[in-house]
Structure 1
């Protein structure tokens, strides 16, 4: 009799737990449909003023940038249709696609490759020129809760580890609590569980007016920035500029070359070389800081029901002989070791491992074509359409596996 009662009690307990689990899942689904829209329908300024448009034309490229109603450099996102897998790509100008049209970026090229393999996916471009790891964490804070991606790709450039951005958030996260937040985000929000990345003011962010900039205006802005930097340069930096070959100086002063490249070379000619030694306390600290920012991104992604991964993006001087020679023309110091070392990738992999994120780099594929011209713009240094295509081809199997397996 006691055994029978025990079995009945166990069955009753199991049945109650199953009923409770089903009830929680139904509540989570209902709250998601009633209270929390999948995609916003109005204007937002996630990164840029919505509706803005810029044109660029230099000695190396010509392209146009259009910003959608969410403030991203991408097509308009249809709120009525969500694919089986929504992916966002966070990164800097190499993800944004500086120098190329939207459809030529690795983001959109990768999207086409995944769709051709039979996957119902969209990849939304969340890149912004000049950004670094702390910015990526800030982008995650603003964008992930709005778009609720299934997968977040963080495009980590090979020099991002050396940026040294302080972590956006240094809190240690409880894995069990993170799992609850990720599994039941709508219930957690309904209960008023605010996280550091969620607004506490309740007030929408003010949206700046849309901007329209012509290629002529952008050249004038770059030329003026170069002149101002030269006026403020130290005697040593000015002397380095005077030693540059005439075509480089002419492009810099006429706005036909990104002033950041020249200014970086004038103020820190060893920019690419010093990043090759990971064993220094400074680089170890930078790796830790990058890992903290990646951890932040992973936590936000999981809380909103998705997962994240890191894609290492190669820099020309580390993978291509023509780019290696070109940065020397800009005034940077170079060494032969730059084209063979695994230090930049190891930094990316170490930071990703510390953050608990899968990582894939593309250095090998680019070094196999180290003598090929046309993968990077000669002096500007960004990926060309051919470079974006090679990068998308290289990382496509890795991303496809993440999508098909839903790896967390």
Structure 2
């Protein structure tokens, strides 16, 4: 009995101490603006590209330039003070970013162009994140939706990786995001103190010389050789069994070696998405559902609707891309080109959110060879064109409905 009382007192003291500490932190956070000017800090945006930069990416199959705005997003500058058009925010991975194509060829730009031609005044914001997955989409949305105040949110979910790379955040990620959410001024002050010298504005873009491009290629070649040396024996054997052409491209310095490395590490990644009985697919569905609901909740806070669109991966919708996926080391059972399991998972995870799939439209062009890059596997310019063309009428209908709702409810928080 006495021991129980001691533990009860310890628990009570711990609760009181924790409460006092958290209250003190909250008070400090609220007091900071009274004594010091601290510019807002957006940790998710800060992990994207350097603001104001111009990035050129050269590979065997493409040579494209990305113009980065002041927020670190690909595309033109965004007026945070005043919206001059119906604003559409598109979240997704490198497929949304438009990896491999120039901005005017990306589906985000093409979709905006189609809506403009339909007589709608819209502003498209590309929030595609290279290497991103649903956990990053949700975190970026939670940070940027209150900032951008979009009128419509589109989440572009990939048919392959997004179904598996969608687990819970790590403890450190969770704590950091909670700290920033509830103590934004302390987070901004900590960032300011640890980065006392603001970055210099980027210099005007000067195209790389042939010598600079050669140096970049040599650096990439060295990186590829180092990656090969670090491969476990079993993966090295699988690499050596690949076609000579694939091995040459890998070491060329003009290829993102991540595609082949992913195939060596998880050869059944894309094949698993068409097996509805897999436990990890059910786990992915559970977390995808949570992340989509989180994004929709953030959107509702600014009176925006959320749409979910399935982004086609070539291995499921295009025979040449399916064959190329096999060539770089992935398992590609034939039913990948007929199954709808990957879309079924995304649609089910969307719950009551409007959902759209372009799988049929792409399979109608199943033998068209130029929809996806041969080695990189991302959508090529023609793939972006078909994707935007297919989703445009559906998105247009939702935009018109949202515009009518806004017109009928002029009192809005935007």
TM over 0.5: same fold?
A: yes
Question: Which moves more between the two structures, 198-207 or 134-143?
Answer: 198-207
Deviation, structure 1 residue 230? 1.6
TM-score, normalised on structure 1?
0.77
Deviation, structure 1 residue 202? 6.2
Q: Deviation string for 1:310-341 (max 9, x for gaps)? A: 11100001000000111111111111100000
Residues 217, 161 of structure 1: alpha-carbon distance in 2 compared, 3 angstrom cutoff: farther
Residues 311, 217 of structure 1: alpha-carbon distance in 2 compared, 3 angstrom cutoff: farther
Match of 1:186 in 2: none
Matched, 1:228 2:218: no
Match of 2:275 in 1: 277
Contact 1:141 1:197 in 2 (8 A): no
Query: Can you give the 5+ residue segments of structure 2 that lack an aligned partner in the other structure?
Result: 1-39, 172-178, 406-414
Deviation, structure 1 residue 47? 2.9
Deviation, structure 1 residue 251? 1.3
Residues 143, 79 of structure 1: alpha-carbon distance in 2 compared, 3 angstrom cutoff: closer
Residues 365, 95 of structure 1: alpha-carbon distance in 2 compared, 3 angstrom cutoff: same
Residues 146, 198 of structure 1: alpha-carbon distance in 2 compared, 3 angstrom cutoff: farther
Match of 1:161 in 2: 163
Residues 281, 328 of structure 1: alpha-carbon distance in 2 compared, 3 angstrom cutoff: closer
* Separation in structure 2 between the aligned mates of residue 91 and residue 396 of structure 1, nearest angstrom: 17
Residues 136, 215 of structure 1: alpha-carbon distance in 2 compared, 3 angstrom cutoff: farther
Residue aligned with 2:74, SS: coil
Match of 1:106 in 2: 107
Contact 1:92 1:132 in 2 (8 A): yes
2:377 to 359, 381, 387: 381
Contact 1:49 1:208 in 2 (8 A): no
Contact 1:92 1:131 in 2 (8 A): yes
1:371 to 362, 367, 372: 367
* Separation in structure 1 between the aligned mates of residue 398 and residue 51 of structure 2, nearest angstrom: 31
Match of 1:131 in 2: 132
Residue aligned with 2:367, SS: coil
Contact 2:317 2:337 in 1 (8 A): yes
Residues 143, 328 of structure 1: alpha-carbon distance in 2 compared, 3 angstrom cutoff: same
Matched, 1:318 2:303: no
Match of 1:357 in 2: 353
Deviation, structure 1 residue 146? 1.1
* Separation in structure 1 between the aligned mates of residue 342 and residue 308 of structure 2, nearest angstrom: 14
Contact 1:50 1:68 in 2 (8 A): yes
Deviation, structure 1 residue 274? 1.6
Question: Which moves more between the two structures, 374-383 or 398-407?
Answer: 398-407
Match of 1:17 in 2: none
Question: Which moves more between the two structures, 160-169 or 337-346?
Answer: 160-169
Deviation, structure 1 residue 114? 0.3
Matched, 1:396 2:392: yes
Deviation, structure 1 residue 394? 0.6
Aligned counterparts, 1:202-281, within 5 A? 203=188, 216=214, 219-220=217-218, 222-281=220-279
Question: Which moves more between the two structures, 138-147 or 113-122?
Answer: 138-147
Deviation, structure 1 residue 86? 0.2
Match of 1:286 in 2: 284
Residues 367, 85 of structure 1: alpha-carbon distance in 2 compared, 3 angstrom cutoff: same
Deviation, structure 1 residue 79? 5.1
* Separation in structure 2 between the aligned mates of residue 240 and residue 50 of structure 1, nearest angstrom: 40
Deviation, structure 1 residue 260? 1.1
Deviation, structure 1 residue 397? 1.2
Deviation, structure 1 residue 139? 1.0
Residue aligned with 1:269, SS: coil
Aligned counterparts, 1:287-302, within 5 A? 287-302=285-300
Residue aligned with 1:272, SS: helix
Deviation, structure 1 residue 306? 1.6
* Separation in structure 2 between the aligned mates of residue 155 and residue 77 of structure 1, nearest angstrom: 21
* Separation in structure 1 between the aligned mates of residue 118 and residue 319 of structure 2, nearest angstrom: 33
Contact 1:137 1:168 in 2 (8 A): no
Residue aligned with 1:223, SS: helix
Residues 235, 285 of structure 1: alpha-carbon distance in 2 compared, 3 angstrom cutoff: same
